[in-house]
């Protein structure tokens, strides 16, 4: 009889533990689902608010709006994760778990100085408006386009397609190539046998046409004059001003049109010549 009672007591304890485990598992699952939905819905609301704000008369630029949107989404994500983890710890371990989590948090805090540095530096980057999403920048030797800015990390994609993730605390030098107008500079080489005035006039006519056909040109390019005397020929330098982020495209386009113009006007371009000497 005692054995039977003991068996029922063990079975009852097992059933109670199983029930408590299932109850905790369901609560944890609900918390995870709520975290996911909160981040998902919050991101959607932030995106809609930013898009609606852009229709106002006094609104932020597109780049600043994108930066502000990513910052708000980053803050929302960190806040939801923090509250969610605390709630899960409380469900699994109760009040003692919260005490242990607090002690663990203090211990982690001493070892998280780099994280705090990243967040503080990220705040000043945003507050001082050092760069925005979409800007062409060089950060500590890494150049590319800013894809996202968070409180802790900055992500830039270079022209090879590689994505660089840089902690904000490690950022010491920033060169922003997207603030203000950018100079375009193209060198055209002609042969020593060419009339320099003829070549200059032809290129200036091209530059005027180039300025009219490209709206991103701020200051029309023009031939400054001879910039170098090389073994192969004379170098004529052409400079102008363009909108940010259009520099590379316009320089490549201008080089192509310069080549076509020189060919059309019969202006000789220098090239390496090889002589074959036949031994008798």
Residue 155 near residue 165, CB atoms below 8 Å: yes
Q: What is the mean pLDDT of residues 245-254?
A: 85
102-129 residue pLDDT tens: 555 554 555 556 767 777 787 788 777 7
pLDDT at 263 over 80: yes
β strands within the chain, DSSP E: 136-139, 142-149, 153-157, 163-167, 174-176, 182-190, 217-229, 234-242
185-243 residue pLDDT tens: 999 999 888 888 999 999 999 999 999 888 888 889 999 889 888 888 899 999 998 88
pLDDT at 8 over 50: no
For residues 7-40, b (16+ Cβ closer than 10 Å) or e, as one string? eeeeeeeeeeeeeeeeeeeeeeeebeeebeebbe
Kindly report the pTM of this predicted structure.
Answer: 0.51
What the chain holds in terms of domains, given with CATH numbers, is 2-111 (1.10.287.1260), 117-176 (2.30.30.60), 182-264 (3.30.70.100)
d(CA 242, CA 247) in angstroms, rounded, equals: 6
Phi, psi of 249 (to 5 degrees): -60, -45
Tracing tokens 């507050």 back to the chain, one arrives at 127
Residue 83: per-residue pLDDT: 82
Tracing tokens 């023009």 back to the chain, one arrives at 222
Residue 276: per-residue pLDDT: 57
Q: Report the chain's C-alpha Rg in angstroms.
A: 33
């Amino acid at each position: 009889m005692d054995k039977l009672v003991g068996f029922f007591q063990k079975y009852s304890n097992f059933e109670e533990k199983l029930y408590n485990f299932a109850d905790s598992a369901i609560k944890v699952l609900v918390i995870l689902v709520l975290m996911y939905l909160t981040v998902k819905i919050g991101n959607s609301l932030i995106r809609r608010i930013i898009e609606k704000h852009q229709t106002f008369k006094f609104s932020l630029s597109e780049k600043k709006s994108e930066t502000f949107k990513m910052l708000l989404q980053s803050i929302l994500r960190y806040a939801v994760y923090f509250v969610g983890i605390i709630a899960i710890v409380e469900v699994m371990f109760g009040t003692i778990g919260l005490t242990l989590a607090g002690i663990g948090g203090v211990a982690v805090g001493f070892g998280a100085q780099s994280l705090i540095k990243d967040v503080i530096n990220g705040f000043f980057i945003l507050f001082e408006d050092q760069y925005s999403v979409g800007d062409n920048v060089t950060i500590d030797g890494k150049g590319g386009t800013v894809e996202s800015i968070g409180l802790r990390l900055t992500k830039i994609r270079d022209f090879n397609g590689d994505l660089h993730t840089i902690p904000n605390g490690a950022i010491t030098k920033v060169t922003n190539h997207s603030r203000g107008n950018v100079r375009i500079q193209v060198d055209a080489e002609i042969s020593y046998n060419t009339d320099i005035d003829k070549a200059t006039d032809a290129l200036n006519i091209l530059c005027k046409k180039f300025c009219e056909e490209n709206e991103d040109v701020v200051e029309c390019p023009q031939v400054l004059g001879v910039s170098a005397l090389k073994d192969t020929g004379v170098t004529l330098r052409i400079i102008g001003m363009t909108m940010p982020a259009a520099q590379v495209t316009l320089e490549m386009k201008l080089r192509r049109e310069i080549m076509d113009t020189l060919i059309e006007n019969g202006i000789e371009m220098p090239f390496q010549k090889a002589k074959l000497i036949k031994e008798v």
